Every structure is written in C-alpha cells, then in structure tokens.
Amino acid sequence: MAPQRRAATKAPESNGAAERRNRSSTKKDRSPREVQRLWQRPWLRTAGLGAGLVLTTLLLWSNLGAEDGVTEVLARRGEVVAGRFIEVPCSEDYDSHRRFEGCTPRKCGRGVTDVVITREEAEQIRSIAEKGLSLGGSDGGASILDLHSGALSVGKHFVNLYRYFGDKIQNIFSEEDFQLYREVRQKVQLTIAEAFGISASSLHLTKPTFFSRINSTEARTAHDEYWHAHVDKVTYGSFDYTSLLYLSDYLEDFGGGRFVFMEEGANKTVEPRAGRVSFFTSGSENLHRVEKVHWGTRYAITIAFSCNPDHGIEDPAFP
C-alpha cells in the first residue's frame, strides 16, 4: 500500500493581508443603499454635477455652432475695429440693372468700422428710434420706423406717423434729431465711397432706409420674420450698397441677433456694438441673415444707397 501524502499546511494569513482582502470584498459587495449614501456626500455630488454641467454646456455650444455654421467672427463686440474690409467677387445681379460707370459695383465686398460714429452719437440716434417707436410697435418681434416715408409698425399693420399723429410729432422729435440723422447718414455715405473707391456724390440715399427694433416676441406676420436669408439687390432692386449702424450691444442689451454673411462652410458673423457700421455691396455675393433675438432688444438703422439717381430719396425734414 502506497504511503498517503499529507496536504501542505497553509501558512497563517497576516493581519494586513486579511484587512486588504476584507476592504476589497466590502467594495464589491456594497448595496445600492450604501452607494446612494456615498453619492449624498456633498463633495462627491458637487463634483458629479459639475462634470455633468460642463459636458452639457460643451454639447450645447457644439450644437449651436453646427446649426449656425459660423466659423469666423468678422468683428467681435468687445473689440474696437478701426477699419476692416474683405473683398469678394461680384455677383451677376448688377448686370440685370442699368449700370452707372464709376458707381455700380465692380469692386465688391464687406467692411466694418467702429471709428466713424461715436457711441455717444449712436446713443442719441437710438433715442430718436425709441421716441418714434413709442408711438406704436409691432405685435410681433420686429418693429420698423421709417422717418422718410413715415412708415411705423402698429400692431399687425403700418401707419404713416406724420398723418396719423399730425402736429403731435413736433412734441416727439426735434429739429436737432433730424440734423443728427442727416450728419450720421453723410458720414456713412463717405465711409462707403472711400472703401469702394467711388465718389460720394454718385451715391444716392434710397428706400427703404429705416430703424429696426427686434426682440424675442413671437412673429405675428411675415414682416416679423426677419431671420430669413436674403439678398438686398433681389429684395430691393434699388440697393447697390447697404449699411447698418448698430445702436445696441450684443450680449449686453440682447442675446442672439448677430449679423451673418452666409458662405458655404465659412459663414462670417458681425457682433453688433453701439456705433458700429457694417457695410457691403448689395448683390448675391453678400447673402446674409440675422439670427433670432433670444432676449433683450436689438436696435439698428439700415441706410441704403443706389447708383441710380431716379431711385434717390431726400433726407427726412422736421415736420
């Protein structure tokens, strides 16, 4: 009979090893209630919520960027732009209109400047818009005031403020208001002429030239849907050069509402700043739109010029 082998005697486990094994076993065997108690520890909960908030913010920012397609900011609200100009090839839109040598665009592009109109002048011009629009205002998010034609948004319609309010207008506006309006228009006209290398006298103020007030109120009519992409030369045949003078500040007075030049895969955006003048040739080379305003109120004035004297209009006169 073969001798039986004795099993090797197991060495006693040290206290340290037993402790480590017990801790490991405890981690694996924690109940859901114990996990919940851990989560209720303030520092752990705060860290978890913070990480979730950061992730949500990044995803939201990414989605907004993808929706807008904005890849470059042409002018940021926080910077003071002495003069910035980007030349782009002219479209064929001008070929279907009468050409005026020395004025009809052959050099096309877009520019931005913050040194033509002061912020104080912009504030004074904005007060004109506020006084006029206090007489009416659209039921939707976009209200218009045109001092040339007298057009004023009221509810879902337009009225002629000079006829509708008559002599009361003299208690709303002053001769100084209209003088400042003319001076600002002249400065913008000279800026456009210099940028495109044409004579200022060849440019004729054209309609519509108007104040706009935009807020986040839901649109009530097609006139309130300002956010659609469009070409000014197509919408208004008289336009050859378009300009906007911003009268309020992006992210201070309102959110959203940036001006976007639309280009395939490379949109350019202008962030409004009180006193900032954005100008461009009016053809399809400058397809553009305005983002929806999400909060606050955005004020601006559109000042347009034509090369055709037949499309010219006079500066508004104090009634």
Cβ pair 275, 303 in contact under 8 A = no
Provide the pLDDT for residue 69.
Answer: 56
CB 197 within 8 A of CB 107: yes
**pLDDT tens digits in sequence order for the chain, 319 residues long:** 444 444 444 444 444 444 444 444 444 444 445 434 544 554 444 444 444 443 443 333 333 443 455 579 999 999 999 999 999 999 999 999 999 999 999 999 999 999 999 999 999 999 999 999 999 999 999 999 999 999 999 999 999 999 999 999 999 999 999 999 999 999 999 999 999 999 999 999 999 999 999 999 999 999 999 999 999 999 999 999 999 999 999 999 999 999 999 998 789 999 999 999 999 999 999 999 999 999 999 999 999 999 999 999 999 999 8
Residue 223 has a CB neighbour count (10 Å cut-off) of 16
Neighbouring-strand partners of residue 304: 206, 242
Amino acid at 12: P
The Cα–Cα gap between 145 and 76 comes to 27
Q: Which CATH architecture has domain 71-311?
A: Sandwich (2.60)
Residue 205 near residue 189, CB atoms below 8 Å? yes
| Coil/strand/helix, residue 130 | helix
How do residues 112-140 score in pLDDT, each as one tens digit?
999 999 999 999 999 999 999 999 999 99
Based on the residue annotation, tell me whether 298 is a catalytic residue of this protein: yes
Q: What amino acid occupies position 149?
A: S
Neighbours of 33 (CB within 10 A): 7
Q: What is the pLDDT of residues 184-199, one digit of tens each?
A: 999 999 999 999 999 9
Output the pTM of the full model: 0.79
**Any idea where the domains of the chain sit in the sequence?**
71-311
**How far apart, in whole angstroms, are the C-alpha atoms of residue 166 and residue 319?**
9
Catalytic residue among 110, 185, 273, 298: 298
Q: Can you say whether the dihedral through the CA atoms of 49, 55, 61, 67 is positive or negative?
A: negative
Separation CA 291–CA 228 (nearest Å): 9
78's tokens: 């926080």
Question: Tell me, what's the pLDDT at 27?
Answer: 43
Kindly give the pairing relationship between strand 151-155 and strand 157-160: antiparallel
Backbone angles phi, psi at 76, to 5 degrees: -85, 150
Q: Which residues are within 8 A (CB) of 82 and not within 5 positions of it... i.e. 6 or more apart?
A: 113, 114, 115
pLDDT of residue 265: 79
Q: What is the DSSP letter of 252?
A: T
Computed on alpha carbons and rounded to an integer, the radius of gyration of the chain in Å comes to: 32
